[in-house]
């Protein structure tokens, strides 16, 4: 069974930094794209950043210049380094993986359980 395990969420002051991690566990052969989405209270889930195996990245305009996504393909892990955090960044952050090839099956899309990031004084 393949699962996405997230870590790194928590409480941080405005202007602070936080680093999120997401590791895909299980007998995995390959993962095409991994990324991060977030959902703030009362809002729809939105894209934060994604990265393919070829290191092609996409960022939401709202976080451009403040976050960096990176991957360690050998560990099937994706990271999200967030700097200069604002109150508007407060949300549940979800890890996402697309086109996962495991031992006995393929997964078009997987989601993590979510990790809460709270930016507050």
Residue pLDDT, tens place only, 10-24: 999 999 999 999 999
Q: Put residue 67 in one of left, alpha, beta given phi > 0 → left and psi -120 to 50 → alpha.
A: beta
What three-state secondary structure class fits 88? helix
Please, where are the H alpha helices in 1-121? none
Confidence check: pLDDT of 31 > 90: yes
- Average pLDDT (39-50) is 96
Q: 55: pLDDT confidence band, cut at 50, 70 and 90?
A: confident
The pLDDT value given to residue 54: 82
Q: Yes or no: say if 85 and 92 are a contact pair by the CB < 8 Å rule.
A: no
Element (H, E) at 91: strand 91-102
């Amino acid at each position: 069974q393949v699962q996405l395990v997230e870590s790194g969420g928590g409480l941080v002051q405005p202007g602070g930094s936080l680093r999120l991690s997401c590791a895909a566990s299980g007998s995995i052969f390959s993962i095409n794209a991994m990324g991060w989405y977030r959902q703030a209270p009362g809002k729809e889930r939105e894209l934060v950043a994604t990265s393919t195996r070829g290191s092609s990245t996409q960022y939401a305009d709202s976080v451009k210049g403040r976050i960096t996504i990176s991957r360690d393909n050998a560990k099937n892990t994706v990271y999200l380094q967030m700097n200069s955090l604002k109150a508007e960044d407060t949300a549940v952050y979800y890890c996402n993986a697309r086109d996962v090839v495991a031992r006995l099956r393929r997964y078009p899309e997987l989601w993590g359980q979510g990790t809460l990031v709270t930016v507050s004084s």
